[in-house]
């Protein structure tokens, strides 16, 4: 099954996407992740101001099939949280790259973005699963 993998974004093997805008990174889950999870019924996100380390769990997404941790692709401080998701978790299924962004993080280590996967690398990774 082909998945939507926008070329302008960067990805992780934990199926998060990132959009880098200067020293701020927008983070969400990929089309692959929402498809694998099924109907998403609950999203738990961190508080603004929380400091995250790369690969640290920052929240939870729950579907009718399972509960999955969300992992931060980079280190930094949460500067904004998508307040629509707790009331409308189904947006994660409908618009994983749009209105279902999860958090915005101010980078503390810009070098970490170099370890993220390109769209091509992520597509290649998915083909091994």
Q: Is residue 126 part of a domain?
A: no
Residue 129 within any structural domain of the chain: no
**What is the reported pLDDT for 111?**
93
Evaluate whether residue 4 is within a structural domain.
no
In a domain, 96, yes or no: yes
pLDDT at 3: 85
Q: What is the pTM of this model?
A: 0.96
pLDDT tens-digit series, residues 70-126: 999 999 999 999 999 999 999 999 999 999 999 999 999 999 999 999 999 999 999
Contacts 24+ apart (CB under 8 A), 107-110: 107/23, 107/24, 107/25, 107/74, 107/75, 107/76, 108/51, 108/75, 108/76, 108/77, 109/54, 109/74, 109/75, 109/76, 110/23
The conformation of residue 65, written as its DSSP 8-state character, comes to S
Report whether pLDDT(1) > 60. no
Residues facing residue 60 across a β-bridge: 44, 69
Counted domains in the chain: 1
| Helix (H) or strand (E) run with residue 87 in it | none
21-77 pLDDT per residue, tens: 999 999 999 999 999 999 999 999 999 999 999 999 999 999 999 999 999 999 999
Q: Residue 27: which domain range?
A: 10-110
């Amino acid at each position: 099954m082909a998945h939507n993998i926008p070329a302008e974004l960067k990805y992780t093997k934990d199926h998060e996407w990132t959009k880098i805008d200067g020293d701020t990174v927008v983070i969400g889950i990929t089309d692959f992740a929402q498809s694998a999870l099924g109907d998403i019924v609950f999203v738990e996100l961190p508080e603004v101001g929380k400091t995250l380390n790369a690969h640290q769990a920052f929240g939870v997404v729950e579907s009718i099939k399972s509960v999955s941790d969300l992992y931060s692709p980079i280190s930094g401080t949460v500067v904004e949280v998508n307040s629509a998701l707790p009331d409308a978790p189904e947006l994660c299924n409908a618009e994983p790259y749009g209105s279902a962004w999860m958090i915005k993080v101010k980078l503390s280590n810009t070098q970490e973005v170099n370890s993220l996967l390109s769209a091509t690398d992520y597509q290649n990774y998915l083909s091994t699963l």
